[in-house]
Amino acid sequence: MANLKTDQKKTKAQSMGMHTEVLTGKTQQKFFNPDEAENFFYWGTHDVDFNKRTELDVKDLDCKEANRKIDSLMSEGYGTIVIKNPQGKHSLGVGILNKLNLIFEGSLGYFGVGSIDGPIVRVNGRVGWSCAENMMAGKVVIEKNAGSCFGAAIRGGFLLIL
């Protein structure tokens, strides 16, 4: 499957097949055919194995580096990622459109795991303001407490504060 996050802009449309697509109306049917399992996944997502587990220490990473690292681990097929030392950093684990077991061993700052679609997230600490905003699907479990705007504007999924 083409990876939208790494593809250049010019080739994105090509890799989605838009240049060769015959626009007869039947393409719509084919594109959203629920029988084909691949239509349930986003373009550019990765096939991961929940039994493949790894740890990621984000102590010296900023949020962009950490999020890129999570993406690259998923591309290697890791389905369970344990984040060590989040230490209240902001915007960790945002924009994950993949199935994934994501475990934070510590607390998140503001805007944690925003705009996610699919992953199962467990936070051993607390989360600050605006966690899990704009979530489409998946699960987010917080063990301690959560700040304001938790799960604002969600369209689906499951939120739990223990």
Partner 1 sequence: MCGIAGLIHRGKSSDVGKELQSMLQALKHRGPDSTGYALYADNDGQNFIMRFKVGENVGEGSTSINEDVSVYDTRKKMVDKKLSELGAIIVKEERLTPYSFRYEIKYDKDLMDFSKKIESVEMVEILSIGKSLELIKDLGDAKTVCDRYELNKVKGTHGIGHARMATESGVDIKSAHPFWGYPFADVSVVHNGQLTNYWNNRRALENKGMRFMSECDSELIAVFLAEKMRNGATLEEGMKESLTGLDGVFTYFVATKDSLGMAKDTMAAKPLVLYESDDLVAMGSEEIAIRSILPQEITTYDPFDGEVKVWQI
Residues of this chain that bind partner 1 (CB under 8 A)? 85, 87-90, 105-107, 109-110, 125-126, 128-129, 144-145, 147-148
Q: How far is the CB of 109 from partner 1 (least distance, A)?
A: 5
H-run or E-run covering 68: helix 63-75
Pairing of strands 137-142, 78-84: unpaired
Nearer to partner 1, 2 or 56 (CB): 56
Min dist CB 116 to partner 1, Å, is 21
C-alpha–C-alpha distance, residues 50 and 85, integer Å:
22
Question: Hey, what are 75's tokens?
Answer: 């591309």
Q: Which is nearer to partner 1, 97 or 142 (CB)?
A: 142
Task: Pick between residue 78 and residue 150 the one whose CB is nearest to partner 1.
Answer: 150
Q: How near is the Cβ of 88 to partner 1 at its closest, in Å?
A: 3
Both structure tokens of 149:
């705007």
10 Å Cβ neighbour count for 155?
9
